Amino acid sequence: MPRKNDILNKLTIQDLPIKGKRVFIRADFNVPIDDNLVITDDRRIRSTIPTINYAIDEGAKVILASHLGRPKGKVDPRYSLAPVARRLQRLLNKEVIFAPDCIGSQVESMVSRMKDGDVMLLENLRYHIEEEKNDPSFAKALAKLADYFVNDAFGASHRAHASIVGIPKFLPSAAGFLMKKEIEYLKGSVEDPVRPFVAILGGSKVSGKIGVLGNLVDKVDKVIVGGGMAYTFIKALDFEIGDSLVELDMIELAKEIMSNLKKKGVKFYLPVDCVIAQEITPGTETKIVTTQEIPKGWKALDIGPASVKLFSEAIQNAKTIIWNGPMGVFEIDAFSRGTTAVAHAVADAYAMTIVGGGDTDYAVHKAGVSDAITFISTGGGASLQLLEGKELPGISALTDKT
Ligand code: AMP
């Protein structure tokens, strides 16, 4: 039986005879764009460049497509991919033809005029409601543009949308280089880790990470939990947590997870102190207290210095680290120190370090240590789903190697 998310069983772009052929590359160009339509972070675009350059060098006609934001099936200039076309042009140092739509006779005739090595970017897939509905005739209209399909949109591969799972029903379909790398790192780290293997989880909600914790119980040596989600665990241990974030419906599950971790001999770390405030606003009064002493009316918004020391020591001898989710409300300077300190500890560890999730990625860059991280995933939801041990629809849909 084929194993879940097993990229080794799937075709990759290098298996396709793309010379002189039309190749439809689904990318994840869902980048932040400000009010002046300037791209403020182009890392997702840069990550797909190796796949695009390979296709150009092989002499393919390269047709790129992506979603951007949530235009909800309507044409909305705020979500146009035009700024992405301009940025791509600079990054590739070559003309990028920009199509005004992603399907239809005008686009088809533009594609028919493409020469080998030409690059075209289609307009936002989500201008058509059929994309998110995985409509078969929309997928067929997209597939009509090309001879081969390549999925390099790891960040969108947990979604069963037309451009992810629909097109592969009509065309031979392969993984791009970014997709392959993402799966190899995220799956490899969990399935065959060099030990000690430490997982660091943070962010606001236990509910968002509970699947990951459940899947990792059998695999990790240590689990560190920080961020808002830690206080549900602390409450489950019968401590008062003031007005800190809590998910009361997760308390029983939190108890179960802690008991499972204990049974498996996995070391489990929670914050021992925290930075508290009454308001989540910059400039508000803050205090550092132990986790047992959070007063009513106060919220724990970052881990404190003793927790930073505890977590850093737990990370120090790790050989594999995965980290997803900030340790506090890192968007506000007063509550960002814990996340920054953990970023430094992860970067300093002599380990394979894998960071996932948009916030954690941002925190690592803000701390200036991104170059010291082995792999930063481009997909938040997709990386969590992979760490939960779930199948990614976008990978299953690719053509099996024979
Ligand atoms: P998530 O999307 O679940 O990974 O959560 C990320 C968000 O969690 C960030 O926007 C943080 O501001 C927030 N967060 C982290 N720690 C806390 C905390 N102690 N209390 C409230 N929000 C938090």
Alpha-carbon Rg of the chain, whole angstroms? 23
Band of residue 205 on the pLDDT scale cut at 50, 70, 90: confident
Angle between helices 251-263 and 206-216 (to 10 degrees): 20
DSSP state of 223: E
Paired sense of beta strands 273-277 and 267-269, if any: unpaired
Residue with tokens 């002599």: 350
Which atom of ligand 1 lies closest to the CA of 329? 12
**Dihedral angle of Cα 5, 41, 204, 322, to the nearest 10 degrees:** 40
Q: How far apart are CA 372 and CA 321, in angstroms?
A: 13
Angle between helices 43-57 and 82-92 (to 10 degrees): 60
pLDDT at 402: 86
pLDDT at 3: 66
Q: How far is the CA of 133 from the centre of ligand 1 (A)?
A: 30
pTM metric for this prediction: 0.93
Which atom of ligand 1 lies closest to the CA of 300? 19
Which token pair is 310?
A: 């505890």
**pLDDT mean across residues, the chain:** 95
Angle between helices 358-366 and 337-348 (to 10 degrees): 80
Residue-wise pLDDT tens digits, 136-192: 999 999 999 999 999 999 999 999 999 999 999 999 999 999 999 999 999 988 888
Q: How far is the CA of 88 from the centre of ligand 1 (A)?
A: 33
Asked whether the beta carbons of 149 and 173 are under 8 A apart, the reply is yes
Asked whether the beta carbons of 130 and 138 are under 8 A apart, the reply is yes
Give mean pLDDT, residues 240-244.
96
Residue nearest to atom 18 of ligand 1 (CA): 228
Kindly give the residue spans of alpha helices, DSSP state H, lying in 192-264.
Answer: 206-216, 230-236, 251-263
Where, residue-wise, is CATH 3.40.50.1260 in the chain? 13-180, 193-387
Q: Which residues line ligand 1 (CB under 6 A)?
A: 203-205, 208, 227-228, 245, 300-301, 325-326, 328-329, 331, 357, 359
pLDDT at 7: 72
Q: How far apart are CA 401 and CA 174, in angstroms?
A: 9
Which token pair is 109?
A: 């005739």
Q: How far is the CA of 359 from the centre of ligand 1 (A)?
A: 9
Residue-wise pLDDT tens digits, 295-346: 999 999 999 999 999 999 999 999 999 999 999 999 999 999 999 999 999 9
CATH superfamily of domain region 13-180: Phosphoglycerate kinase, N-terminal domain (3.40.50.1260)
276: β partners: 287, 300
- 1 pLDDT exceeds 60? no
Band of residue 122 on the pLDDT scale cut at 50, 70, 90: very high
Give mean pLDDT, residues 267-291.
97
Query: What single-letter amino acid sits at 49?
Result: I
Which residues, other chains included, contact 185 with Cβ-Cβ below 8 Å and sequence gap of 6+? 354, 374, 375, 377
Is the link from the previous residue into 196 a cis peptide, with omega within 30 of 0?
yes
Q: How far apart are CA 355 and CA 376, in angstroms?
A: 5
H or E segment and range at residue 222: strand 222-225
Which atom of ligand 1 lies closest to the CA of 209? 3
Residue 331, CA distances (Å) to 46, 115, 280, 328, 362 in order: 25, 47, 10, 9, 10
Q: Write out the catalytic residue numbers.
A: 44, 205, 358, 381
3 state DSSP class of 394: helix
3 state DSSP class of 317: coil
Q: How far is the CA of 148 from the centre of ligand 1 (A)?
A: 41
Q: How far is the CA of 115 from the centre of ligand 1 (A)?
A: 48
What is the CATH topology of the domain spanning 193-387? Rossmann fold (3.40.50)
Q: Which of 55-59, 73-77, 81-85, 383-387 shows the lowest mean pLDDT across its residues?
A: 383-387
- 48 pLDDT exceeds 90? yes
Which token pair is 68?
A: 């951007």
Band of residue 6 on the pLDDT scale cut at 50, 70, 90: confident
pLDDT at 326: 96
% of the chain with per-residue pLDDT over 70: 99
Which atom of ligand 1 lies closest to the CA of 226? 16
In whole angstroms, what separates CA 392 from the centre of its chain?
A: 13
273: β partners: 290
Residue nearest to atom 4 of ligand 1 (CA): 203
Band of residue 359 on the pLDDT scale cut at 50, 70, 90: confident
pLDDT at 2: 55
What's the burial of 313, exposed, middle or buried (CB within 10 Å: 0-12/13-18/19+)? exposed
Q: How far apart are CA 103 and CA 85, in angstroms?
A: 17
- 380 pLDDT exceeds 90? no
- 67 pLDDT exceeds 60? yes
Query: What single-letter amino acid sits at 108?
Result: E
Which token pair is 181?
A: 């790398």
What's the burial of 287, exposed, middle or buried (CB within 10 Å: 0-12/13-18/19+)? middle
Q: How far apart are CA 314 and CA 49, in angstroms?
A: 37
Query: What single-letter amino acid sits at 39?
Result: I
> For the chain, how long is the longest CA-to-CA vector?
70
